[in-house]
Structure 1
Amino acid sequence: MKIKRKVEIAVISDVHLGTYGCHAKHLLTYLNSIEPKKLILNGDIIDIWQFSKRYFPKSHLKVIKKIMDIAAEGTEVIYITGNHDEMLRKFSGTTIGKISIVDKKILEIDGKKAWFFHGDVFDVSIQNTKWLAKLGGYGYDFLTLLNRLVNWYLEKCGKERYSLSKKVKNGVKGAIKYINDFENVISEIAIENGYDYVVCGHIHQPKIKTIETKHGKTTYLNSGDWVENFTALEYQFKRWKIYNFNKDKLAPFAIDEDVVDMEVQDLIAAITIVEQVEKKSRNK
């Protein structure tokens, strides 16, 4: 019998299902290793910006089915919309069984207030020049695809993996300033509103840090991504930690055997099960 780690809250973001950069199998392994009371999907789970009928492999469908299964088993799943899945914002406020779609979420966690949102609303480049941001997204997707080929060759040669996108980001002073500004602006607003935690994604930079101003302090948390960092946030025993797929030894489980040969009709069946659970809960 597989023993799963119990966590109060698990937060993942920036999965980008439907793109070449998404590492769906890594995420499936992680989801199979935990049993959260709450699973928060903090934006950009499905990449509708770059969605193509030509590329949506089974492993990506399996992630969706796994999330449905987690909800059917009793876990509360909160889907917070991001910029790459902004089309879902028209369904904000919708609840299907244990799954809810929202644009932001405020939770009280052990007596502290936590503010969850994706983070794109504070990105001026997206708000003012969305077409340019989308163009940049395609370039990033191509870079991650190229990076996969490079890492395949490096692993064949017994060498360490290498991140081209990280190298590009870290080599540009403007990018570093953008990340710092993003973290500081969000944290300042959180402090002004009395939030003890501010939890976001969007910039693909996993981090936990305390930011203090003359008005108070807050803990800034970013769940990272499943394109290059393979990270999540976990809350358990009154503390937050960053789970790192490459470094943590807490995910020994492979993809569930019952989803190996999953087809689209199986995904539809999973959605039907969730709807049936919702009907039963309403009739009680």
Structure 2
Amino acid sequence: MKTKRKVEIAVISDVHLGTYGCHAKQLLTYLNSINPKKLILNGDIVDIWQFSKRYFPKSHLKVIKKIMDFAADGVEVIYITGNHDEMLRKFSDTTIGNISIVDKLVLDIDGKKGWFFHGDVFDISIQNAKWLAKLGGYGYDLLILLNRMTNWVLSKMGKERYSLSKKIKNGVKGAVKFISDYEKVIAELAIENGYDYVVCGHIHQPKMEIKENKHGKTMYLNSGDWVENFTALEYQFKRWKIYNYSHDKLSPFFADEDVKEMEVKDLIAAITIVDKTQK
């Protein structure tokens, strides 16, 4: 008998299937432990940049099969494109069954607005990206176009595509400043646009933090990655948490003090489901 945790929304990003750095077995264990209503794949799930026919082990294929199984079982699966899987951007706004491909997503979550995107478009230039992204509803789409053009030109010149790894290679201090600027710009845009949550990935830095300025506040959320941190974001009981595979393993989702006021039977019903087909 196998017990699974009910999760309203699960967000994973930066899995990089098809690369040696991907930890597909740990991710598969996590995916097998949850029963989400909505699964958001927030970019860089399959690493098309570094894809090689010579390396795509069974565990990587099983992750893809598990995602397909989720969709077949009625789970809404939303694939948000990233930079390492930017080839999928030509299929944006396509829906097949319960799977949809988008470049960005806005969700109403218990009366609060959540803004979801991978985050690579803010790599081109932090300040210029902010200015462009503010150009009405087309700003973010324009950034994606510029990102694709930049990488197309770089590839034609025989140069490495633009990615965060270049920033990291420049040294720890430069990387820390970049990450700080990245979070600040994203949070400021979310506040300006009235989003209660802004959810991204890309920089492989799991985080959940309230960001404030004179115009308001937002909750900045980053799902981290499955290369180094083995993290995901989960939404349940009207709140978010960072799931950390190394620390949480398969422990239930608890909502801090709120849970203590619940009846035991209600808590069990809220966080578990028994799969009777497995023994």
1:81 aligned residue? 81
Moved over 2 A (4+): 125-137, 168-171
Retained in 2: the 8 A contact 1:9–1:236?
Answer: yes
Q: Secondary structure at the match of 2:83?
A: coil
1:20 aligned residue? 20
Change (3 A) 1:250 1:94: same
After TM superposition, the structure 1 = structure 2 runs for residues 84-123 of structure 1, keeping only pairs within 5 Å, are 84-123=84-123
**CA RMSD of the aligned region, Å?**
2.2
- Give the deviation of 1:251 after TM superposition: 6.0
- Give the deviation of 1:250 after TM superposition: 1.8
Q: Distance in 1 between matches of 2:57 and 2:13?
A: 19
Q: Distance in 2 between matches of 1:172 and 1:77?
A: 36
Retained in 1: the 8 A contact 2:187–2:218?
Answer: yes
Q: Secondary structure at the match of 1:74?
A: coil
Retained in 2: the 8 A contact 1:30–1:251?
Answer: no
Change (3 A) 1:238 1:48: same
Matching of residue 134 in structure 1 with residue 161 in structure 2: yes
Q: Distance in 2 between matches of 1:86 and 1:51?
A: 13
2:196 aligned residue? 196
After TM superposition, the structure 1 = structure 2 runs for residues 40-55 of structure 1, keeping only pairs within 5 Å, are 40-55=40-55
Q: Distance in 1 between matches of 2:212 and 2:194?
A: 12
Q: One-letter code of the match for 1:76?
A: E
Retained in 2: the 8 A contact 1:29–1:251?
Answer: no
2:9 aligned residue? 9
1:237 aligned residue? 237
1:226 aligned residue? 226
Retained in 1: the 8 A contact 2:26–2:230?
Answer: yes
Q: Secondary structure at the match of 1:198?
A: strand
Matching of residue 212 in structure 1 with residue 212 in structure 2: yes
What is the TM-score with the length of structure 2 in the denominator? 0.76
Q: One-letter code of the match for 2:47?
A: D
1:151 aligned residue? none
2:32 aligned residue? 32
Structure 1 unpaired stretches of 5+: 141-167, 253-284
Number of aligned residue pairs: 224
Q: Once the two structures are superposed, what CA deviation does each residue of 1:125-178 show, in whole Å capped at 9, x if it has no partner?
A: 6948644653868x89xxxxxxxxxxxxxxxxxxxxxxxxxxx77961000000
